Amino acid sequence: MSETLTADKYGMQEALKALGLKEINEGTSTGSNNFGGGEIISSYSPTDGALIGKVTTTTKEDYEKVMDAATTAFKSFRAMPAPQRGEIVRQFGNKLRELKEPLGKLVSYEMGKSLQEGYGEVQEMIDICDFAVGLSRQLNGQTIPSERPGHVMREQWHSIGVVGIISAFNFPVAVWAWNTALAWICGDVCVWKGSEKAPMCSVACQNIIADILKENNLPEGISCIINGDYKVGEYMTTDERIPLVSATGSTRMGRIVGATVAQRFGKSLLELGGNNAIIITPTADLKVVVPGAVFGAVGTCGQRCTSTRRLIIHESVYDKVKDAIVGAYGQLTIGNPLDEKNHIGPLIDQDAVNTYLAAIEKAKAEGGNVLVDGGVLQGEGYESGCYVKPAIIEAENSYEIVQSETFAPILYLMKYSGDVENAIDTQNGVAQGLSSAIMTNEMKEAEKFLSFAGSDCGIANVNIGTSGAEIGGAFGGEKETGGGRESGSDAWKVYMRRQTNTVNYSDELPLAQGIKFDL
């Protein structure tokens, strides 16, 4: 590793070594199937500004080698019985259990989220592997009654092919696993472009699965990585050999990916921006409201797609809730995310810091009232320049800045009056539709929130916050969030192609709908 790596107070050198990253140096290959021969990407930790390592970007020639490996591997992998593919995923999940500590540390150090969140992200990988292993014996079709005598109709599912995965920096390993674990048990192979802001994480994951594939005498093309910015991602979005592209990121990115893939009649799984709100009603329990709202707003330094951006509070309890939230912010500690006493780590880079500062100024210019000042932290421990203070601003839902997603710890407070329907209208009154929550002890309010006329988001929670989700449920949202679903429930179906079969086991050929065609 680079000599500029920070003093090894938190065991990072040992963690990197355990993940097979000790040999990364400029100009070298980094992980199985990374044929990068392009420019160098240097990964600097937002935690302390130190250089973690370097990878080479993927050229078009490199990409063609990756695709040759992937398409060749698919021909044999799809023929493997699904439970045997599940066994590979089981081994991967067990290896993640062994490496949870070093991989969690790398996620924390390279991305900047707290160590507990880093461990939690790896646990999500383990959980989706467990889910996928069970699912590998349940990729069921169905039998459909036929209107014709002596006929049977069946529906079955087949592997779709090469799945392209584009993931974002904020969950540099979990989102890949959500897609990959399901794709693998479905018989697909994967080409992954991780975020160029956290490339060491994707290399580490590739090292782990490459070892497992080798131990099982399986082709390495089952799992491939490519490195680079959006230009490398375009290799996949325009490639007709990739029938499905799963992309996680901004709404702006999703518009481009969705249109490009649709133009060649491919499929997209889009998980894009969120502008998530918690409705707080008069009967809400503050013991539930405060931790749910605060963690939702400041966890991962506000860099989750499910982060809480807006609190919509009934006027009768507004001052009480406001005082409680502001008081809780005064207890937050900001610093090195590898130190578990800190609640909040840094933003990912200087661009994110600039976006954060601009959003606060925009909110002020539109009439927002600052309750908790933001700003960039300086001094010892904050040398990277990426540490910022979580801000709270009273605002109106109609503000332009409130209508957009800012990937930073800025929380907007607003009042509602009258019935809960008014709060639901405010919550739904943004372009995004990912996660939502209501805090109430009134059953009627909760059920209205969950009804067809309630929250228009893909996730709607009662008495828990907006941030985070369990593996068993399908994850994703509506409107400008993209409409895609990842992880649990029947999300596996997007990684397969549906086929309807009709079998005639009679001695006649009756036509559908009673049509007569005599010769």
Q: Each residue of 361-381: pLDDT tens digit?
A: 999 999 999 999 999 999 999
Distance CA 128, CA 93 (A): 8
**Model pTM score:** 0.94
At residue 408, the pLDDT reads 98
Under the banding of pLDDT at 50, 70 and 90, the label for residue 152 is very high
At residue 34, the pLDDT reads 45
DSSP state of 148: S
Transcribe 239-282 into DSSP letters.
-TT-SEEEEES-HHHHHHHHHHHHHTT-EEEEE----EEEEE-T
Q: Average pLDDT of 10-23?
A: 86
Of all residues in the chain, the percent with pLDDT exceeding 70 is: 96
Q: Average pLDDT of 451-476?
A: 96
Distance CA 117, CA 143 (A): 44
Taking alpha carbons only, the member of 275, 269, 519 closest to residue 397 is 275
Helix 251-263 with 230-237: angle, nearest 10 deg: 30
Under the banding of pLDDT at 50, 70 and 90, the label for residue 31 is very low
Checking if the pLDDT of 28 tops 70, the result is no
Taking alpha carbons only, the member of 288, 287, 271 closest to residue 438 is 288
At residue 25, the pLDDT reads 39
Checking if the pLDDT of 157 tops 70, the result is yes
At residue 519, the pLDDT reads 76
Assess contact for 155 and 499: CB atoms under 8 A. Answer: yes
Catalytic residue among 121, 196, 271, 486: 271
Distance CA 348, CA 275 (A): 19
Taking alpha carbons only, the member of 172, 200, 171 closest to residue 43 is 200
Under the banding of pLDDT at 50, 70 and 90, the label for residue 454 is very high
Distance CA 504, CA 500 (A): 13
Please list the residues that pair with 459 across neighbouring strands.
435
At residue 5, the pLDDT reads 46
At residue 192, the pLDDT reads 98
Under the banding of pLDDT at 50, 70 and 90, the label for residue 174 is very high
Checking if the pLDDT of 491 tops 80, the result is yes
Q: Average pLDDT of 53-73?
A: 96
At residue 449, the pLDDT reads 98
Three-class secondary structure of residue 421 per DSSP: helix
At residue 37, the pLDDT reads 83
What is the C-alpha end-to-end distance of the chain, expressed in Å?
A: 78
For 78, phi then psi, to 5°, come to -65, -25
305 catalytic? Reply is yes
Distance CA 86, CA 130 (A): 9
Helix 199-215 with 82-98: angle, nearest 10 deg: 130
Catalytic residue among 301, 305, 386, 457: 305
Q: Which residue has the higher pLDDT, 515 or 356?
A: 356
Under the banding of pLDDT at 50, 70 and 90, the label for residue 320 is very high
At residue 512, the pLDDT reads 82
Amino acid at 32: S
Under the banding of pLDDT at 50, 70 and 90, the label for residue 138 is very high
Please list the residues that pair with 74 across neighbouring strands.
none
For 156, phi then psi, to 5°, come to -135, 165
Q: Average pLDDT of 411-434?
A: 98
At residue 513, the pLDDT reads 85
Under the banding of pLDDT at 50, 70 and 90, the label for residue 26 is very low
Kind of pairing between the strands at 244-248 and 267-271: parallel
Q: Average pLDDT of 414-423?
A: 98
Q: Average pLDDT of 238-260?
A: 97
At residue 510, the pLDDT reads 86
At residue 4, the pLDDT reads 41
Checking if the pLDDT of 35 tops 70, the result is no
Q: Average pLDDT of 461-470?
A: 94
224 catalytic? Reply is no
Radius of gyration of the chain (CA): 25
Q: Average pLDDT of 196-207?
A: 97
Checking if the pLDDT of 107 tops 80, the result is yes
Taking alpha carbons only, the member of 137, 110, 132 closest to residue 121 is 110
Alpha helices in 276-349 (DSSP H): 286-298, 318-329
Q: Average pLDDT of 397-407?
A: 98
Three-class secondary structure of residue 224 per DSSP: strand
Assess contact for 382 and 347: CB atoms under 8 A. Answer: no
Assess contact for 356 and 410: CB atoms under 8 A. Answer: yes
At residue 33, the pLDDT reads 37
Distance CA 346, CA 265 (A): 40
Q: What is the mean pLDDT of the chain?
A: 94
Distance CA 205, CA 360 (A): 37
Distance CA 461, CA 219 (A): 42
Checking if the pLDDT of 424 tops 50, the result is yes
Please list the residues that pair with 163 across neighbouring strands.
190, 244
Assess contact for 459 and 487: CB atoms under 8 A. Answer: no
Q: Average pLDDT of 379-386?
A: 95
Cα angle 153-159-162, degrees, rounded to a multiple of 5 = 150
Transcribe 21-65 into DSSP letters.
-TT--TTS--STT----S-EEEEE-TTT--EEEEEEPPPHHHHHH
Q: Lowest-confidence range among 15-29, 104-118, 240-254?
A: 15-29
Cα angle 71-76-78, degrees, rounded to a multiple of 5 = 90
Taking alpha carbons only, the member of 181, 166, 172, 124 closest to residue 469 is 124
At residue 515, the pLDDT reads 86
Q: Average pLDDT of 144-164?
A: 96
Checking if the pLDDT of 156 tops 50, the result is yes
